Amino acid sequence: MKTIMIRTTVLCVILLWSLTQLPASEIPAKKQDHPIALLGAMIHPMTGPVIERGTILFDKGKIVAVGIDIDLPPGTERIDVSGKHIYPGMIDANTNIGLVEIGAVRATRDISEVGSINPNIRAEVAVNPESELIPVTRANGISITVTMPEGGIISGTAAAMELDGWTGEDMTLKAPLGLVVNWPQMTINRARWERRTEEEQKKERDKALNELRNAFRDARAYMKAKRSETQKGVPPHDTDLRWEAMVPVLDGKIPVLMNAQEIQQIQAAVAWAEQEHVKLVIVGGYDAWRTTDLLKASNIPVIVNPIHRTPWRRWEAYDEPFTLPKKLYDAGVRFCIAGEGGSSNERNLPYHAATASAYGLPKEEALKAVTLYPAQILGIADRVGSLDVGKDATLIVTNGDPLEIRTNVEMEFIQGKNIPLTSRHTRLYEKYKEKYKRLKGE
């Protein structure tokens, strides 16, 4: 027992020491307190033609004017960005940034809860604003992420988060954004490593579908009971946070964000959504190109992610995942492009879009797929996604095409706040650059 206590004490001391060695996270930017004008750049509004040698003026976090000859109010800070490009801040429509720091360390994963039906779980209250992954991600031009919980059948509600703020509440752009649901696998897995029998797989699938149907049935009954409380003689109904969280979905105010990849999952999910009379967004959608007629007829958009993956099936072409956005575009299905759906590599979002562009998706559509289209699909286009007057001044200034890996983001504004572009990556870069300067005797 004494040995165990000594070991525990030593481990605690080591842990506390290691925490003191962690670099301080970036300090959130100050709110905009004066007008700012970016002058002389090539402006890409996403909702109209490119403006050459244009000016964008914003004040109090909102875009005031976009054009060439703009009258600037007194006290405007003028920033010359001649030769640069201005784009809306990019939006990653499927991440768990702030919920997971290191995937291999259980203590840093706050992504799922016990049980299979958890609609009351809210992503925004669990987001860690001190995550080292936040400054790394935003330094590459991603200003907003959609953070989604995982696990079970109903995982909880997603939130649109701005990548700057003191708390999760500060960072929240919109919540709840949608109800995250995981459609069960419909096909039977006959791989040699699968230990469950066909009958066991069918039972698990049917059990999951029954739980999902029962959850929506109970939520609808709860909503009806709560709304009947105002009627004379009707007793009050106890509040149930699980079903309360599903009321916006049943009212059609927010969609169901349905994780579905295979054709059978997508077809079954669409049929279920029509039966339940709820809005649906397919997340993942590997086989979405095989169901374009159904998706287009039902006006169901797809969050495509990830682009960078290998084909699932031996008979598929090597570029099957890369050409998915092009196929959806040709079929007239609404879509946007997300990153890997994780936390540590979401800075690579523009390169997923770049790959889609290299495999047939028009360049302008690829840019919209990580700016305007996710905003439209997720109901935040009134605030972000394009550089229109009245929208949030959430934008990036680059020295070239943001889909090109050699392009650098030189400035970033989120609601008019000038965001620092330093991160753990830049600190390490500066550290080891100094090391080799010293080795050379500079």
pLDDT at residue 112, as a whole number:
84
Q: Which of 48-52, 69-73, 236-240, 286-290 has the lowest mean pLDDT?
A: 236-240
**List of residues 6+ apart from 172 with CB closer than 8 A:** 124, 159, 160, 161, 162
Confidence check: pLDDT of 12 > 60: no
What's the rounded mean pLDDT across residues 212-240?
Answer: 85
Structural contact between residues 91 and 126, judged by C-beta atoms closer than 8 angstroms: no
Name the percent of the chain lying above pLDDT 70.
Answer: 93
Confidence check: pLDDT of 230 > 80: no
What's the rounded mean pLDDT across residues 19-39?
Answer: 77
What's the rounded mean pLDDT across residues 22-49?
Answer: 88
The residues with which 306 forms a beta bridge, in sequence order, are none
The residue among 186 and 160 whose pLDDT is bigger is: 160
Confidence check: pLDDT of 19 > 50: no
Q: Across all residues in the chain, what is the average pLDDT?
A: 91
Three-state SS string across the chain, please? CHHHHHHHHHHHHHHHHHHHCCCCCCCCCCCCCCCEEEEEEEECCCCCCCEEEEEEEEECCEEEEEECCCCCCCCCEEEECCCCEEEECEEEEEECECCECCCCCHHHECCCCCCCECCCCEHHHHCCCCCCHHHHHHCCCEEEEEECCCCCCEEEEEEEEECCCCCHHHHEEEEEEEEEEECCCCCCCCCCCCCCCHHHHHHHHHHHHHHHHHHHHHHHHHHHHHHCCCCCCCCCCCCCHHHHCCHHHHCCCCCEEEEECCHHHHHHHHHHHHHHCCCEEEEECCCHHHHHHHHHHHCCCEEECCCCCCCCCCCCCCCCCCCHHHHHHHHCCCEEECCCCCCCCHHHHHHHHHHHHHCCCCHHHHHHCCCHHHHHHCCCCCCCCCCCCCCECCEEEECCCCCCCCCCEEEEEECCEECCCCCHHHHHHHHHHHHHHHHCCC
pLDDT tens-digit series, residues 91-115: 999 999 999 988 888 888 888 888 9
Confidence check: pLDDT of 294 > 90: yes
Confidence check: pLDDT of 363 > 90: yes
pLDDT tens-digit series, residues 389-419: 999 999 999 999 999 999 999 999 999 999 9
What's the rounded mean pLDDT across residues 12-20?
Answer: 42
Measured distance CA(119)–CA(245) in Å, rounded: 6
Tell me the torsion sign for CA atoms 254, 259, 260, 261. Answer: positive
- For the chain, give every domain's residue range: 22-89+385-442, 105-187+239-381
Confidence check: pLDDT of 20 > 50: no
pLDDT at residue 232, as a whole number:
65
Confidence check: pLDDT of 22 > 50: no
What's the rounded mean pLDDT across residues 219-244?
Answer: 84
What's the rounded mean pLDDT across residues 34-49?
Answer: 96
Q: Which amino acid is at 422?
A: T
Structural contact between residues 372 and 47, judged by C-beta atoms closer than 8 angstroms: yes
The residue among 105 and 65 whose pLDDT is bigger is: 65
What's the rounded mean pLDDT across residues 64-73?
Answer: 94
Confidence of residue 196 (pLDDT cuts 50, 70, 90): confident
Confidence of residue 233 (pLDDT cuts 50, 70, 90): low
> Among 3.20.20.140, 3.30.1240.10, 1.10.3720.10, 3.40.50.2300, what is the CATH number of 105-187+239-381?
3.20.20.140
pLDDT at residue 18, as a whole number:
44
Confidence of residue 16 (pLDDT cuts 50, 70, 90): very low
pLDDT at residue 4, as a whole number:
53
**Domain 22-89+385-442, what architecture?**
Roll (2.30)
pLDDT at residue 5, as a whole number:
55
The residue among 437 and 15 whose pLDDT is bigger is: 437
pLDDT at residue 227, as a whole number:
84
Closest CA to 157 of 165, 166, 167, 146: 146
pLDDT tens-digit series, residues 309-343: 999 889 999 999 999 999 999 999 999 999 998 88
Q: Tokens 């946007």 label which residue?
A: 336
Structure tokens at 149: 């919980």
